[in-house]
Amino acid sequence: MISRCRIVIKGTVQGVGFRPFVYRLAGMYNINGSVLNSSRGVIIEAEGEEGMVQAFINMIKENPPALSEINSFQVSELPPAGFTCFEILKSSHDQTSEALIPPDVGTCPACAGEILDPKDRHYRYPFTNCTNCGPRFTIIEKIPYDRLKTSMKTFSMCSYCGAEYNNPLDRRFHAQPVACPACGPGVRTTDNKGEQAAEDKNWLEFAWSALGKGKVFALKSLGGFHLTCDAHNADAVKSLRIRKGRQAKPFAVMCKDMDTVRKYYHVNNDENKLLLSPQAPIVILKKREHFGLPEELAPKLNTMGVMLPYTPLHLLIFSGPFDILVMTSGNYSELPLVIKNENAIDELSAIADYFLFHNREIVNRCDDSLIQILDGEVSFFRRSRGYTPQPILIMRKKNSPVVVGIGGEMKNSFCILKQNQAFMSQYIGEIDTIEGEKNLFDSFANFQRLIGAKPEIVAYDAHPDYASSYMARKVPAENYVEVQHHHAHLASCMAENNLDNEDIIGVILDGTGYGIDGNIWGFEVFKGSYTGFERMFHLAYVPLPGGEIAIRQPWRTAYSYLATFLGNRGKEHAGEIFADRDINIVEQLIASSFNSPLSCGCGRLFDAVSAMLGVCHENTYEGQAAIELGEIALKASESILKASYSYTVTGDTILPGEMLEGIIEDKFAGVPAEAISVKFHNTLVNIICDAAVRISARTGIKKVVLSGGTWHNEYLFKTTVKALRRERFQVCFHRQVPTNDGGIALGQAMIAHWRLKDVKGRK
Ligand code: ZN
Ligand code: ZN
Ligand code: FE
């Protein structure tokens, strides 16, 4: 019996070798018909012996190409049409675009082998790629994904590349960015005035020799420029810090291979897998005891970001005399990554000695993703290259309106909800500069086009002065929704854990967020859902003397904590600990409540304790004092791990006075900072657990979500999860979007969806 089926497959199925895979299977099962990429996904017509057609369908379902991700698979039976062969049809263009754009993929082993093989025509060619690897999101201008709609459109394939591209059995069949030395993009080196530095054919030897002399290169990578220098060379690393205006924030490094990573860092199985994954993110690793590399790479810290080469250009550089290079983003601190050749010299010539350019345009800026493995779980600091624009599946009906969450002011990433998918943008970063604002604006326009969605509802942070809120209101839409910062955190965590609109307990710990009482919130225990929240407990407020300055200078916050909760005795202690600081100014600011906003941010409490213990007096990068305090807790001896301080709860307010007293007492008794840090962390765990237990006793709720940047803290995260589970709570945390402000856009959008879903009469 001859049967015919039409199969429509949606998800990440383009640019991942799906059609050649289907073509080969059709040959194996004697199937006639066609396969085609449309903007709705891959559409297959399959006609053949009934059993064969079924086997063909099962094979596609069960063994799809490694890089694909199937979200929906529909089969409909049709009357036989009498197809006589199986062919790959040209892409169709229709209005609705449901096909997903694949993220960029790190170089595959086959391509890596070819560029190092003198006999291969791709030998030493830095833009080698195939269906299994290469640029995608970063080069796509429009959908559907086709070479002519990417920045490869200016390069026409040579006959060799064309033959591979057109051969259904080749690894490069319909790989849109295929290229070789004869037909593709090329590399150029210049000095920092734009003068050619070496002959094009000698670029690699030139790069090796300059890096060997301690020079800094600006290197055009996949999603933007990197700044690179020899990680063994302390002087080079130091001068890169000074030139980039980056005092202490750790630099990421790129290692030649896994053996090199293991030589300098501890790597567990999860970290190993992540480093070698096609997404090739930066993974945060612990330095080995005998690290042997300059302290300047990550001053005072035990951890830093490490990645493996993910483009042929990186691989070629590592085929020379280096095993580890600094590979940090090509920008001045907090500005967007440079992506255009024409801007690079202007913007980076004061940092880099030389430039390594190429002429394949970067269409979509995309920073490296940054991930930490926390207690065996993936925790994103930055979800970007390799993951964007892969959607996160959420609980929502397909006919729901398109909702935009514009995100926060720092670590910005916006989000578009379309059907049951949440598309998180790449990392946008800080947007409180003109450049940052433009970055958000341009990226949003591009992203919206690629997703093919017209916003109906736009959600944004309730902070009255945020640039993001202002921009959100400029996006044309039917409805606008203001969302409280920590409520957005809560909803974001609920959404990625596929929770329905039910009341849960949310423990939201972060640095700063605008509260509905006009104060700065950040240590919040909520009872809430997508549609609303109740603030059940929060840390007591303290004034931040000088506002922003207090965030940069944690000793000011420490003074404020001691003065607020321990009165004159606290002031005396503070006078002793911060004898070299200008305490009078801070005292006056607090007394006159001038420029001293009230805050209960958890980050500020960490700042205060960190400064009290002399761990960190200055935040030269966001969260520094808290990170350093968190790291030393991991070094404390076993004997102290159960100890903690006491505290009081009055009404809904958590009072840290007794804890501060205990910390001061321990400090003056000579207890090591590591031990005090552990006791401080344990106290927070107790506070959180007690609060959850109390709420649960009143309401019967047994689900807790954890969100906010503080949850990057390894000791706090592990210990809290364990303690809550001991109390039989189901604990939800972030695995797919960052727990920091990089994830709030998802929560904003979900809250707006739920608030307005009945307004429009749909669900
Ligand atoms: Zn490849
Ligand atoms: Zn070619
Ligand atoms: Fe936050």
Tell me the pLDDT tens digit for each residue of 298-325.
Answer: 999 999 999 999 999 999 999 999 999 9
What was the pLDDT predicted at 157?
Answer: 97
Residue 663 and residue 681 in contact, taking contact as beta carbons nearer than 8 Å? no
Residue 489 and residue 750 in contact, taking contact as beta carbons nearer than 8 Å? no
Residue whose pair of structure tokens reads 């004034």 in the numeric block: 543
- How far the first Cα of the chain sits from its last, in Å, is 44
Question: How many A from CA of 489 to the centre of ligand 3?
Answer: 7
Question: How many A from CA of 259 to the centre of ligand 2?
Answer: 33
Question: How many A from CA of 178 to the centre of ligand 2?
Answer: 7
* Integer CA distances (angstroms), 329 to 134, 217, 337, in order: 20, 12, 6
Question: How many A from CA of 113 to the centre of ligand 1?
Answer: 9
The environment of the single-atom ion ligand 1, i.e. residues with CB closer than 5 A, is 108, 111, 130, 132-133
Residue 293 and residue 324 in contact, taking contact as beta carbons nearer than 8 Å? yes
Distance CA 729, CA 712 (A): 20
- pTM summary value: 0.93
Of all ligands present, the nearest one to the C-alpha of 514 is 3
Question: How many A from CA of 84 to the centre of ligand 3?
Answer: 60
**CA dihedral sign, ordered 558, 562, 564, 570:** negative
Residues of the chain with pLDDT under 50: 95, 761-763
Distance CA 698, CA 466 (A): 37
Distance CA 177, CA 153 (A): 9
Question: How many A from CA of 754 to the centre of ligand 3?
Answer: 21
Question: How many A from CA of 164 to the centre of ligand 1?
Answer: 13
Residue type, 522: G
Of all ligands present, the nearest one to the C-alpha of 186 is 2
Output the six-digit token pair for 300.
């005072």
The closest alpha carbon to 494, from 486, 484, 485, 504, belongs to 504
Output the six-digit token pair for 556.
């000011």
Of all ligands present, the nearest one to the C-alpha of 158 is 2
What are residue 408's phi and psi, to 5 degrees? -100, -165
Residue 259 and residue 318 in contact, taking contact as beta carbons nearer than 8 Å? no
Question: How many A from CA of 474 to the centre of ligand 3?
Answer: 23
The closest alpha carbon to 144, from 77, 199, 98, belongs to 98
What was the pLDDT predicted at 144?
Answer: 82
What was the pLDDT predicted at 39?
Answer: 78
Question: How many A from CA of 213 to the centre of ligand 1?
Answer: 33
Distance CA 537, CA 549 (A): 27
Classify 41 in phi/psi space as left (phi over 0), alpha (psi -120 to 50) or beta: left
Question: How many A from CA of 108 to the centre of ligand 3?
Answer: 37
Question: How many A from CA of 407 to the centre of ligand 2?
Answer: 42
Question: How many A from CA of 163 to the centre of ligand 1?
Answer: 16
* Torsion angle, alpha carbons of 608, 612, 613, 615, to 10: 60
Of all ligands present, the nearest one to the C-alpha of 410 is 3
Question: How many A from CA of 126 to the centre of ligand 1?
Answer: 12
Question: How many A from CA of 147 to the centre of ligand 1?
Answer: 16
Domains belonging to the chain, first-starting first, are 2-88 (3.30.70.100), 101-184 (3.90.870.30), 187-358 (3.90.870.10), 386-497+734-757 (3.30.420.360), 542-693 (1.10.357.160)
Residue 760 and residue 752 in contact, taking contact as beta carbons nearer than 8 Å? no
What was the pLDDT predicted at 101?
Answer: 86
Question: How many A from CA of 562 to the centre of ligand 3?
Answer: 25
Residue whose pair of structure tokens reads 């993703």 in the numeric block: 369
Question: How many A from CA of 245 to the centre of ligand 3?
Answer: 25
What was the pLDDT predicted at 363?
Answer: 97
Question: How many A from CA of 720 to the centre of ligand 3?
Answer: 19
Distance CA 533, CA 514 (A): 15
Of all ligands present, the nearest one to the C-alpha of 484 is 3
Residue 370 and residue 232 in contact, taking contact as beta carbons nearer than 8 Å? no
The closest alpha carbon to 439, from 548, 331, 310, 540, belongs to 331
Distance CA 223, CA 386 (A): 10
E strands, 529-665, where?
533-539, 542-543, 598-599, 648-650, 653-655
User: Collapsing DSSP states into helix, strand and coil, what is residue 388?
Assistant: coil
Question: How many A from CA of 559 to the centre of ligand 1?
Answer: 57
Of all ligands present, the nearest one to the C-alpha of 180 is 2
Residue 394 and residue 446 in contact, taking contact as beta carbons nearer than 8 Å? no
Of all ligands present, the nearest one to the C-alpha of 523 is 3
Question: How many A from CA of 182 to the centre of ligand 2?
Answer: 5
The environment of the single-atom ion ligand 3, i.e. residues with CB closer than 5 A, is 510, 513, 741
Quick one: three-class SS letters along 559-594? HHHHHHHHHHHHHHHHHHHCCCCCHHHHHHHHHCCC
